[in-house]
Structures are given as structure tokens and as C-alpha cells.
Chain A
Amino acid sequence: MENAVSVSQLVKNFVLKKREGMRWTESEVKAVDGITLSIEKGQSVAFIGPNGAGKSTTIKMLTGILHPTSGEASVLGCVPWKERTRLAKRIGVVFGQRSQLWYHLPPRDTFELLSKIYEIKQDVFKSRRDMLIERFQLSEFLDTPVRKLSLGQRMRAEVACSLLHGPEVIFLDEPTIGLDVIARQELRDLISEWNRENGVTVFLTSHDAGDIQHVARRVIVINHGRVVLDDRVSRVRRQYLREKVLSVKYADTPESISLDGVKTLKESGHAFKFEVDTLAVPIEKVMSEIMRIGSVVDITIEDPPLEEVIAHIYSAPPTEFGDDAPDDEPDENESKSS
């Protein structure tokens, strides 16, 4: 299959100027340090890593905003930093922290303007807009000024904006940032649905481990500007994302818990922190055991922070590493809950 994105040995160095006393010293920072990857058309890829790992810098180079220090890249057959405007017609970009919606006006006006910016033919524009309105359920707030919308509604409109000109590849930079659990899930579903049904290639960055499991089929983890893992989501989940962290507060001292796959991380008074290996023991079973041993006042379940996952990857390298894992075999873990 043809590649939508292919990157080879991409490097981006920044010169950092620091002042020490009266002198300025220059030092080079490698934001992206030799990334090589290729993404087939229609794939959905999560590009994750902690803050400052080089995710945004890579996206900026792939969309033509930044020129690389060295290396090559091709997006839909264009070299992004050389053919930026030509490429811009064929890709869509969503920055989670930057809006293209007009704050004081309803989303409808922004759509209208975008049709002029991208020079979309009126009939094409209208039919595509109406389809997006239906799919993203925008009709209820299409004529409400953006400043009155909830963040979830805004992000839905935001993503719809970036799809209006029918891009073949869509880059999403931290699209779920700041969203609550439900809005986050809605947006993930919409993105993966769009990917499946319209064949749009999705390139999503996030520092939230949850985004990986729900949107993408393939995950690329980067840290310090390098790819540390490139694999199918299903395998990554089995190997690195099987742990959940449970914080429990009891009314009084509970009985001790003894269950395979549950580790007590911290204990102070009536509060406990457990780490659960969801492959060894279903979370449901752990929950009922926790309820059984004492009277629960408060409980939260979290994914381990991405930094920990990456530390895990370093300490336990993947068994089969590399690009040899095609995406055509079914994702056997898709339906199982974690």
C-alpha cells in the first residue's frame, strides 16, 4: 500500500541561548534526533511521548511550519517545507490549544470563511458541511457563539473545521487536552470512526496513554527526539499498559488483600495505593475484593503516567521490535475491556 507519510532520519536542532553573567552561551538542543517512520494511507497512528519529547516539533515539520536541520520527509508526495501551500489543501491540522473558530461568532460563520480560504466549490462545501454537522452532531449549537460552547462542543466543531476541505491526512496535536472523560471519549470515537469510514490517515499526538488505546491501531512512542517503540496498540497494551493504579480510602482498617497481580504500592493509615496487573487478574475481581475487605470511602482508578510507561519500555525492551508488524491482522484485544 502507498505511504501517506514517510520520514527518514529527520533531525531538528534548536540553538539555545543562555545567559551566564554577562556572557551568552549557545548550546544545541536536539528536539528531534533522527526519526524514521512511514505511515500507510488510511492508518491511524498515535504519536505519544512525554512533554518535550519532540512530538510537536515533528508535527510542525510534517506540516511545513518548521524546516528540519537534516533528513527527509514526504507527506502525500510533497516535501512539506518546500510545498507548504500545496500540501495545506490536502491535510487537516488540529491544535488542541489553539482554535481556528471565531470566538464571538457561531461555528457556522467559521465554516463559511474556511470555504473561502480553501476555495471549496459551494455545492461541495454545502454537502460536506451538512455531513459533518450530522456526524459530529453540531446542529444544536451551530448558531451559538463559540464563547458559549462547552469545551467538548468546541473541540468537536474544531475537528469538523479541519475536515471541511476533505483532507487525506489529519494531524491532531493533543486534541483531548482539558476535556472531561465523556467529551474525551466522544471525540476519540468520532476520530476513529472518521478514520475507518472515510479512509483518512490519522496522526495523533498525545501525552495521555488513554488516547492510544481508543483511537489508534499503531502507536509510536518517542522520547528525547527518538522513536523508542513502534508497534501495534494491542501488543503495547499487553506489554506496557496492563497496569492500573487504584487509590482506595477506607473508613477503618481493612483486612489485608491477597490477590495475584495486585501489588500494594503505598499504605498510610486507611489509605492504600494498589497496582493491578489487568492481564493477571480482571479489574472486576479486584474491585469486589477491595469492597469485601472493608468499607470504602473513596476510590479512583488511573492509568500509570506515560513517563512510567516509557521507563518500563526502557527497562523491558519489546520482544519483537520494529516495522515488521503489519496492521492487517485483527486486533484481538479490541473487544476485551481492560
Chain B
Amino acid sequence: MSKYFYIALTSIRSRLAYLGELGSKTIFLFVVLYIFLCLWKVTYAETNQSSLGGLSLKQMLWYLVVTESIIMSLPTIATLVDQDVRTGALAMQLVRPMSYPLNMLAQTSGERVLSFALNFLVGSIIALIFVGPLDFNLSGIAMFLLLIPLSFALDFTIYFLIGLAAFWLEDTTGLTLIYSRMTMILGGMLIPLELFPDGWQQILRVLPFSAIVYGPARVFVTGDLQVFLSVLIQQIVAILVFAFVIRIVYNLALRRVFSHGG
């Protein structure tokens, strides 16, 4: 296990060189947060309510800080796997004494954690300026810190699967794009699930998208134990299911590598 931890650390260190690039992305974060502050302010005022979908204006903006940070920190998992499949690098990796999927997970997670932390830091400063501090409770933060790695892991399994599709598909960028956009819209990046039409909510709570984006953000701003437990279960089940699918698909793919020579 420790070697994968080391891989993750190394990837973080190599990413630190690109701090400037990450920094310029924060301008975009500022613009988005400002625009949504304006949009929600107007919406709260016009509906004459202090709480929409169970969130106050302040919570709504902090919710957005978390969801945007999750989405913006996404590393290019599917592209990396896709390239490894096409260039034959994946076949080369098989000789090494480590698991390719776990190696990939470590490498991309290191990058993602760093990028998330930076975006989240900047987002928090902006939110502090715009709406002030959130009424945190420590248990909420603890629950959030537990959900975030699982959210990244779940996201990873799906992107990894899409990358593996390169064994059969000519191009996986389309799939990647569709999945990423579904995560944004169905995961509740811009509006929390509670504000979706009533019929949708039941379905969305079962799909993996909300476990990646909505879940951690909601728990962060409200510290709701009920939501935490259901998201946790949703994440664990989804990870197990996708890990199982990866196992099957990966073995199928390996058989292809060995019979066709990549």
C-alpha cells in the first residue's frame, strides 16, 4: 500500500510546479461565484424566502464553492488510460510489480487532492468576502472529509472504465465529455438536488452523479447526519459495483492484449 501512497505524493510534488496555471483558473472561480451570488440573491429576494431547498443564501454559495472545486479539480483520467491503451504503455505496465488501476488511482488522486485543496481554499476566501463564514460544526467537517476521498474514488472508477473503452472504441473523448457534463448537471453542481423537479429527485439520489458532487457539498454546508449516511452508502455501493465492473472489463481487455499483442 505504501508504494501507492508514494506515487500519490510524487504526483502532488510534480503538480506543485504548475501552481501558476492553477492560480489563473481561480479567476474563473471568482467570476462564477460572483455571478451565482447575484443570481441567488435575486432569487431569494423575489421568492421572499430565507431558505431554498433547505439552504440559506450563505449556505447556497458555500455549497457552490464545494461543487465547483470538485468539478474543477478533475484530472484527465480517461485520456491518460486511453493513451496508455493505444500506445501499448498499458501492456508495458503489466510487467511491473504493481497494479495498473491502483497505480493510476494513486497518480491521479494526488493531483486531484492538491487541485481540490487549492480551488477550495481560493473559493473559501471568495465566499468569506461575499457572504461571510459558514456556521460550521465539526462533525459536519469530519463527515465531509470522509466523503470527499470516496467521491474522488468513485469518479475515478467511472473515468477509468471510459478509458478502458479505448480497447474497443476508436475515440473515447465523446464518452468522457458526456459523462462529465452529466456529472455537472445531474450531480447538482449548480443547483442542489432539492431544487430539481420532485419526480427527478428520487432517481438522482440513486445515480452515482449525486454521490460525487451533491453529497459532499450538502454535508459540508448542513452537517446533516441523515444525508451523510445515505450518501456514504450510495458511494460505497457504487464504488463496489464499478470496481467489480472494472475487474471484469480489465480482465477482458488483458485477454485481448495477450491474444492480439496489444
Direct contact of A and B (CB under 8 A): no
- Which residues of A approach B to under 8 Å, CB–CB? none
